[in-house]
Amino acid sequence: MEITNVSEYEAIAKQKLPKMVYDYYASGAEDQWTLQENRNAFSRILFRPRVLIDVSRIDMTTTVLGFKISMPIMIAPTAMQKMAHPDGEYATARAASAAGTIMVSLLPIRAERAGFRAIALTVDTPRLGRREADIKNRFTLPPFLTLKNFEGLDLGKMDKADDSGLASYVAGQVDRTLSWKDVKWLQTITSLPILVKGVITAEDTRLAIQNGAAGIIVSNHGARQLDYVPATIMALEEVVKAAQGRVPVFVDGGVRRGTDVFKALALGASGIFIGRPVVFSLAAEGEAGVRKVLQMLRDEFELTMALSGCRSLKEITRNHIVTEWDRPRITPAPRL
């Protein structure tokens, strides 16, 4: 079957993966309202394309934290990729390198030694959200896998539980006293720039900058933590305005098309991160699948730029889109 868009990989992954593993990747928290909204919100942002502009040459290159990349499409830190494919994160990293883009790591010391360029500090998980699919499946890691960030520590094993084995295990490992002071501590053990991932408000944006964050990733953890928070694309502009250009702002959640990338940049994002498209394509076709996902998003984004009359990223402006909050609210006249 010819794959023509990123979303089609999810259907293939659903067929290939064990149900417990697919549900772990695909599901959200509680009612999964935010999970659906992460996608649906993009559809409510419309284009205002400009015409009769010479778009024979399109430049998608950009610089992220001093590192030049081929496009503003990057790979989010996504856990336990070896459940999707035996090569796991190794395959994803190779695909990112081949595409000339960035894959962000969750392991600071190992990441620095391995030549990674940035670390994402996830700040929205003092506890795991209520992921009811994992509870029903009594999710636990396959026996051939371990959590590398807990390796070498005497933290016990992730066993079957009455609900989610993962939630039960992580509940015993996470320090719920973590606060903004720990962002500063992390800067003492790594020289890598730290992206604070999980910010969706102006208030936390200002605190992140005050505490030394090199960048912010607007994220609701793939809608897996607190349900009924806004879609990330809806929260993006608030964060961008609060950042006031002091640090770059990125966004993840719900991106499945090159048009989504364009909309995010028009709202002020410096780039986007993808998560689920990576693990689904990895499950379907390994490294080749991840390469294809990155290429499809790149091609779609380039086409969107051309059809909108933009020849470089700096030409993508807020005037190229209209959102639902831009449109005047019309109050119907009272009936006589």
**Which active-site residues does the annotation give?**
221
List, as residue ranges, the binding site for glyoxylate.
24, 131, 221, 224
Sequence-distant (6+) residues with CB within 8 A of 136 are 23
262: tokens are: 């364009």
Give how far Cα 104 sits from Cα of 192, 274, 279, Å.
11, 11, 14
Show binding-site residues for FMN: 77-79, 122, 197, 219, 252-256, 275-276
Distances (CA, A) of 273 to 167, 210, 228, 278: 25, 24, 21, 10
Contact 281, 293 (CB under 8 A): yes
**Cβ burial 253-278 (10 Å sphere, 16+ → b, else e):** bbbbbbbbbbbbbbbbbbbbbbbbbb
HSE of 322 in the Cβ direction (CA atoms, 13 Å)?
Answer: 7
Which residues in 65-94 are b (16+ Cβ under 10 Å) and which e?
beeebebbbbbbbbbbbbbbbebbbebbbb
